Amino acid sequence: MKPRRERHGLVIVNTGDGKGKTTAALGVLFRAWGRDFRVRMFQFIKHTGARFGEQRAAERLGIRIEALGDGFTWLSKDMDRTTALAVEQWGRCREAILQGDDDIIILDEFTYAMHYGWVSVDEVIDTLKQRPRTLHVIITGRYAPQELIDFADLVTEMRMVKHPYETQGIKAQQGIEF
């Protein structure tokens, strides 16, 4: 492993309407774990205590994936609660980012919190500016705010070309999508 001082921490954004935003972040987590990096993932939106494939795998490997959310969708009724959970989760992220104990921190589906105005983009960028210079931060989700894209080092748009739900009515499947 390269000495930390030689590393240049990046702000990475995976956005767009296609698959692979969270999944690519999980791939980084897997790869980084293989190099003994300290990786931590905070999940927004997803239900607290979710038991998807990634949580199961992470648990076995001793990687911390912390989900705090109520499964927000367009049909959510209790927006106060959704907002409060996002704000609370961002507080935890902020602390971890400033603490500097980790090599990579992933904020999964965090773009929505900024997009819907639950968390201020300015505050996020301000926090990212204060992070240890070797820390990589990965943010995923649709609708990444333009200011965040402007600030980030590496931005990829995952674009849906073809999806089996659209073409064949096949729903998300275990192991592949969650």
> What residues line the site for a copy of itself (CB under 8 A)?
1-2, 7-8, 10, 12-16, 18-20, 22-35, 37, 52-61, 103-104, 136, 149, 152-164, 167-168, 170, 173-176, 178
Q: Please, which residue, 93 or 144, has the CB nearer to a copy of itself? A: 144
Q: How far is the CB of 68 from a copy of itself (least distance, A)?
A: 19
Q: Please, which residue, 14 or 89, has the CB nearer to a copy of itself? A: 14
Q: Please, which residue, 59 or 88, has the CB nearer to a copy of itself? A: 59
Q: How far is the CB of 162 from a copy of itself (least distance, A)?
A: 4
Which of 82, 104, 142 lies closest to 26 in space, CA to CA? 104
What's the angle, vertex CA 50, arms to CA 59 and CA 161, rounded to 5?
100
Q: How far is the CB of 72 from a copy of itself (least distance, A)?
A: 21
Phi, psi of 10 (to 5 degrees): -110, 150
- Alpha carbon distance 149, 158 (integer Å): 14
List CB contacts of 18: < 8 A, sequence separation 6 or more.
157, 158, 159, 160, 161
Query: Using an 8 Å Cβ cutoff, are 89 and 108 in contact?
Result: no
- Alpha carbon distance 24, 45 (integer Å): 18
Q: Please, which residue, 70 or 157, has the CB nearer to a copy of itself? A: 157
Q: How far is the CB of 159 from a copy of itself (least distance, A)?
A: 4
